[in-house]
Amino acid sequence: MPVGTQGTIKGVLPDHVAATGSQIILANTYHLMLRPGDKVVAELGDLHRFMAWPGPILTDSGGFQVFSLSDINRITDEGVTFKSHVDGSMVDLTPRRSVEVQNDLGADIIMCFDECPRADAPIEYHREAVQRTLRWAGECQQAHRRPNDQSLFGIVQGGTDPALREACARALVEMNFPGYAIGGLAVGEGFEAMCWTLDRVAPMLPEDRPRYLMGVGFPRDIVAAVAAGVDMFDCVMPTRNGRNAYAFTASGPLRLRNSALIRDSGPIEAGCDCYACRSFTRGAVRHFFFAGEMLGPILVSLHNIRFYQRLMADIRRAIGEGRFEQFRQTDPRCLLGPAGESD
Ligand SMILES: [Zn+2]
């Protein structure tokens, strides 16, 4: 899922997002609740109309942003009080309010309000966060006004502790959600710890429901999670890196500001069928970045989304043809991770 934080995939027209093969997009409850407000979006005809995206949309619960971005005033068993980054006002976010906002926004998949501690938080804090996450999951189910047209997913927390993860997963499965997310990974625990945790958590979730790993990641992370049994992903990286002139390619990152590309007549990535690669040379894209033209960030965002969607389509094909393990061991994209580790 490409990420449309403020109700837009930054810089990319919805038609172009659809042309990358994206089937579903994500929008952030936290940002839309603070501005323009969920009631405003509802009055304008719901989030599909607002984003001009008739296909499926998923909204997160706002929890992750509250815990990672905001100036938190107070966390209790009832919810969180924080300071709005838009106008400085104090805002209460509770499980009930998170679901109310998501009911107003009208996405197809909505998420339970959860508590996501930092990876290095003490185990006692992780234990408390799991207790709250479970309590809040029940309150979200109770508050959900549109269960027939919006699927509410539960979120497994518990850091990298297998017993906590198992307790959280079991309790959520008891509550019978139509889908399950794995939260609290890719928050600083490292690649090995993430894989180790995923290999244990994913199999605890029902095979006949979607499993969604939130906020991940590099191609290597996604491939490892698919191997563990995960189905769905969202990440800002294709668009955020694209805006910074960082293009994903099978042979590693290409930095479009590089002076070696000034006269390069090739596409961003040879063999890519995206609009940017079909239409523009590397030399032109490089020029757009140096001239401060909007088209530079737009074209590289578009290419990166298509890069991820081609990877996902190739993974699906490999699984369908029973050769995912071979794909994983031979396709160079499966090794792409953060700078310094694999590129
Ligand atoms: Zn391309």
Q: What is the pLDDT of residues 174-225, one digit of tens each?
A: 999 999 999 999 988 999 999 999 999 999 999 999 999 999 999 999 999 9
Residue-wise pLDDT tens digits, 262-274: 999 999 999 999 9
Q: Which of 38, 104, 114, 234 is catalytic?
A: 234
Q: Which two tokens stand for residue 202?
A: 């994913």
Any bridge partners for residue 152, and if so which? Answer: 110
Does 77 qualify as catalytic in the annotation?
A: no
Alpha carbon of 274 to ligand 1 centroid (Å): 4
Residue-wise pLDDT tens digits, 46-88: 999 999 999 999 999 999 988 888 788 899 999 999 999 899 9
Q: Which of 60, 104, 114, 221 is catalytic?
A: 60
In this model, does residue 153 exceed pLDDT 80?
A: yes
Mean pLDDT of 238-259: 98
Alpha carbon of 248 to ligand 1 centroid (Å): 9
In this model, does residue 342 exceed pLDDT 60?
A: no
The DSSP output letter for 85 is T
SS3 of residue 295 by DSSP: helix
Residue-wise pLDDT tens digits, 115-132: 998 889 999 999 999 999
pLDDT at position 56: 98
pLDDT at position 3: 98
In the structure, what pLDDT confidence band is assigned to residue 111 with cuts at 50, 70 and 90? very high
In this model, does residue 141 exceed pLDDT 50?
A: yes
pLDDT at position 341: 53
pLDDT at position 70: 75
The DSSP output letter for 233 is E
The DSSP output letter for 260 is G
Element of type H or E holding 78: none
The number of beta carbons lying within 10 Å of the beta carbon of residue 14 is 17
In this model, does residue 151 exceed pLDDT 50?
A: yes
pLDDT at position 340: 57
Does 120 qualify as catalytic in the annotation?
A: no
Alpha carbon of 201 to ligand 1 centroid (Å): 34
Q: What is the pTM of this model?
A: 0.97
Alpha carbon of 342 to ligand 1 centroid (Å): 21
Alpha carbon of 68 to ligand 1 centroid (Å): 32
Neighbours of ion ligand 1 (CB under 5 A): 272, 274, 277, 303
Alpha carbon of 56 to ligand 1 centroid (Å): 24
Share of the chain above pLDDT 70, in %: 99
Mean pLDDT of the chain: 96
Alpha carbon of 47 to ligand 1 centroid (Å): 28
In this model, does residue 238 exceed pLDDT 60?
A: yes
Range with lowest mean pLDDT among 7-16, 75-84, 295-304, 327-336: 75-84
Q: How many angstroms separate the CA atoms of 339 and 343, rounded?
A: 6
- Strands (DSSP E) contained in the chain are 3-4, 25-27, 57-59, 71-75, 80-83, 90-93, 109-111, 151-156, 180-182, 211-213, 232-233, 246-247, 254-255
Q: How many angstroms separate the CA atoms of 240 and 261, rounded?
A: 21
